[in-house]
Amino acid sequence: MGERRSSGRNFTNAISYLILGLIALLMLGPFLWMLSTSLKTQAAIFRYPPELIPSPPHFENYETILKGLSVSQFFLNSFKISALATIGQLLSCSLAAYAFARMQFRGKGLLYGVLLATMMIPAQVTMIPVFLIMKSLGWIDSHNALIVPAFLGGAFGTFLLRQFFESIPRDLEDAARIDGCGRFRIYWQIILPLAKPALATLGLFTFMSYWNDLLGPVIYLSSVEKMTLTVGLASLQAGEMVARHDLLMAGSMLSIVPMLVLFVLAQKWFVRGVVMTGIKG
């Protein structure tokens, strides 16, 4: 009887791994095709039957991208905006989440409900009012318009961190308070170190959002030297490089390299954060 259960369990596990492997290959397919296309000539892209492995590979597509666009400046601008916005979100959202999770004050439930309700407001509704605010501050064609709002908190980040903060035992906070720690010291030296998985999850989501953002830079930035990588890649759709799919794919490959590196480095904390904060697919 036990052997039947064991063999049945092994068969179920094998089927599960097979299905997961097929899904992984399905998700990996577009990435592999983009990599293959970035190493082909324009004529080879439309050749039939299509070839996955280009022969020979044309690495000069990357050279053309690096020479034809200010890629280094675009990379620097994107990294600056994404990194500073991520820091702003982690600081502001963690402070708000700590207040909602560990402090008692009048109207806390109502304020938290209003905050979560803002997640249902489409970004298009607030686009014009926010633009007018940035214009009145003189931040048009400035990275401040993309960075500073991140230091003012966010509903998703506050919700994510609050869920994690609620799971931290209150005994640790009580013991620290007995030892003379104030609110901010408890938040900084006890809560945040224990919340590394949730912080890594929010940091990864935020960095990806700002790194891939196209609408914000298009609205607020006009100088070429201040534009981000997404705007630079969008510029390949016009001008001399119109319909050059080989160059577009090469530029897209360059743009996702930082995200791949970041995900690999933060993978352990990211998985733990997703599991422990209750965000499941």
> Which pLDDT value is given to residue 152?
93
- In the chain, % of residues over pLDDT 90: 37
> Which pLDDT value is given to residue 147?
96
Q: 19-71, pLDDT tens digit by residue? A: 988 888 888 888 888 888 888 887 788 877 877 888 788 888 888 887 777 77
Q: Is pLDDT above 80 for 5?
A: no
Q: Is pLDDT above 80 for 110?
A: yes
3-state DSSP percent of the chain in helix, strand and coil, to 5: 80, 0, 20
> Which pLDDT value is given to residue 71?
79
Could you give the CA distance from residue 156 to residue 1 in angstroms, rounded to a whole number? Answer: 49
Q: 208-265, pLDDT tens digit by residue? A: 999 999 999 999 998 888 999 888 887 766 554 456 778 888 888 888 888 888 888 7
Q: Is pLDDT above 70 for 281?
A: no
> SS3 of 50, please?
coil
Q: 153-168, pLDDT tens digit by residue? A: 899 999 999 988 998 8
**Nearest 5°: CA angle at 53, between 49 and 55?**
90
- In the chain, % of residues over pLDDT 70: 89
> Which pLDDT value is given to residue 123?
85
- Tell me the mean pLDDT in the region 272-278: 56
In terms of Cβ atoms closer than 10 Å to its own Cβ (0-12, 13-18, 19+), residue 95 is: middle
